[in-house]
Structure 1
Amino acid sequence: MLITISDIPIFPDDGIWRGRIKIQSPSNCPMCNSVTQIEPLNNWLIQKDDENAELFSFYFCSKCEKFFIGHYEVLYYQTTNLISFSPKKSYNTKDFPKLIKELSPDFCEIYNQAYIAQQQGLTKISGIGYRKALEFLVKDYVIFLNPNESVNIKSLNLSSCISKYIESSQIKSLATAATWIGNDETHYIKKNLDYNIEDMLVFIDVMVSFINTELVISDARKLTKPKNNNKSQNSTNSKN
C-alpha cells in the first residue's frame, strides 16, 4: 500500500524536507512474516548529491515486537522505489552428514525447503515437501545399492520401491512409517490420526542415521578390501 509522508529530517544537513513523498509500506513483517499494514515511526532522507537521495523508514511490528527498516530510492515527482525491508528473519536449516549429502543432495535441499516452510507456519504444505524429500532419499539409497536397476527404481511408486529393494528391516520400517504419514499430509483423507509431521521427522532422522551408518561401513569395506595388486604380489612372494 502506498502512503504519503512529509516533514522528513535531512541528513547530514540537519534540515527538514517539507515536501511530500509516497512510499510503499510493508504488507508483511520481514521478521515474523505476519500480515501487517503499518506506518513508519520515523523517516530520514539521505541527500547523496544534488540529484540522488535515499530514504530510510523505521517500522515497528506489534505482532513480534521487533523493529525493521525500509530502504527506498527517491525518484522524481516525489515518488520512491522500494529497495528492501531489513533485517529479514533468518531460518534454521538441517545439516546432514557428508555421505548423505553426497548420496542424495536433492533430499537435503528439499528437506530444508520444507523445514523453512514449517518455520514460516506453512504447515499445510511443509508435510508435502517432507514426503517428496523422503522419496528422493529412498530412491537414491536403493539406486546406490542397485545401480543396474536405476531406471526401474525411478519409475516405481515409493511404497513398491521400499518393499522390493530395501532389505534392512529397520530402514524398511522407518521408511514405510514415514511414507504413510507423508501420504496423509498429501491426500484428502488422513488415515493415521495418531501421528503427525513431528513423528514423520523423527522417523526420517533415524532412517538417515541408519543409512549413513551403512554408507560409512561400505566406505570402510572399500578401504579394507584386498587389492588385486596385493594378491599378485603375495602370489609372487609365495612362489619365491
Structure 2
Amino acid sequence: MRIQFDNERFDIDQRPDECPICHHGIEPEEISFHVIEVGDVMRSDILQIFYRCPRRDCQNSFIGSYRKSTVGARVRGPFRLNSTAPQRTKRLSFHKEIEDLSEDFVEIYSQAHIAEQKNLLQICGPGYRKALEFLVKDFAVNENPDDEENIRKTYLSTCINNYIDDANIKSCAERAAWLGNDETHYTRKWEDKDLQDLKILIELTEGWIRNVILTKQYNDEMN
C-alpha cells in the first residue's frame, strides 16, 4: 500500500483499522508524517504517520508508528505498523449480579486489565490472581455468611475446597488459582498455559457464579 504526502511517498503494510482512543473500526485520515533516521548510514528506519479518527463522536488524532526490517545497511520491504498511540484503555463491563456480589473483584480485575493494555505483562497476572480471590471469597461469604471471618482468613485453595459446592465453579476456580499462582511464583508449573488461559478460567468462574446467583433468585421468586 502506497501513501503520499506532497512529494514524499511511502510503502506501508496497512493503515490502522481501529482508533486507539474510541476503539471503533475506522478508515483513518492521514494528516502528516515524520521520519526518524537511525544507524551509521542515514537510512529511513522509523516512520510515524499522524492520523485523525473520522468518527464524529471522536475526531481525535493519533500516531501510527511503522518500522522497516533491516539487514546491515539495507532496508527491506515496506514499513510495517508497529503500534498506535496514545492508547485509551477499553472500559470493561460486568453483569450486575457480579458487581453487586463483589465490587472489589470488579475494581481489581479492571486495574489488571489496564496493566495488560499497557503491556505490563509481568504485573497484570498477579492482579488477575488477586481479583479471582476476591470473587471466590465474596461468593463464599454470600453463600456462608456465618463463616465470613474464617473465609476471609483462609487460603484461596482451602476456600474453594471447603466453601464452594457447585462443581463447575469449584473446577474452574481451582484451575484458575493454579494458573494465578504461576503468575506470582518464580517457577511456572503449567508451561503450556498463559495469561489468556487464566483470564478464560476467571471468566468461566464468574459465569458459573452468576448462573448460581440467578438460578437461586428465580427459584426464590417463583417458588
1:90 lines up with 2:123 in the alignment: no
Deviations 1:16-64 (A, max 9, x none): xxxxxxxxxxxxxxx79xxxxxxxxxxxxxxxxxxxxxxxxx9979677
Q: Deviations over 1:170-189 (max 9, x none)?
A: 11110011101110000111
Assess if the C-alpha contact under 8 Å between 1:117 and 1:123 holds in 2: yes
Q: How many residues align?
A: 153
Offset of residue 88 of structure 1: 4.8
Report what 1:124 is aligned to.
122
What letter corresponds to residue 179 of structure 1 in structure 2? Answer: A
Question: What is the match of residue 221 of structure 1?
Answer: 219
Aligned partner (choices 182, 187, 190) of residue 189 of structure 1: 187
Quick check: 2:98–2:210 contact (8 Å CA) kept in 1? yes
- Tell me: CA distance 1:179–1:64, structure 2 relative to 1, closer, same or farther (3 Å): farther
Does the aligned pair in 2 maintain the 1:93–1:115 contact within 8 Å? Answer: no
Matched, 1:178 2:162: no
How far apart in 1 are the matches of 2:48 and 2:148? 49
Structure number having the greater helix percentage: 1
Could you say which residue in structure 1 is the equivalent of 2:3?
Answer: none
Q: Kindly report the root-mean-square deviation, in angstroms, between the aligned alpha carbons of the 2 structures.
A: 2.4
Alignment CA distance shift 1:125-1:223 (3 Å): same
Match of 1:199 among 197, 200, 206: 197
Cα deviation digits, residues 124-183 of structure 1 (max 9, x gap): 000010000000000001001101100000000101100111111111110011101110
| More relative contact order, 1 or 2 (CA 8 Å, 6+ apart) | 2
Distance (Å, rounded) in 2 between the aligned partners of 1:141 and 1:64? 49
Calculate the TM-score normalised by the size of structure 2.
0.63
Partner residue in 2 for 1:73: none
Structure 2 residue matching 1:186: 3-state secondary structure: coil
- Which residue of 2 is the match for residue 144 of structure 1? 142
- State the TM-score, normalized to the length of structure 1: 0.59
Long gaps (5+) in structure 2: 1-19, 22-31, 36-45, 52-60, 63-84
Aligned residue number for residue 16 of structure 1: none
Cα shift at 1:218: 1.4
Identity of aligned residues (%): 38
Change (3 A) 1:59 1:103: farther
Change (3 A) 1:192 1:97: same
Q: In structure 1, what is the Cα distance between the partners aligned to 2:48 and 2:164?
A: 46
CA distance 1:89–1:224, change in 2 (3 Å) = same
CA 1:60 to 1:220, structure 2 compared with 1: closer, same or farther past 3 Å? farther
The one-letter amino acid paired with 2:129 is: R
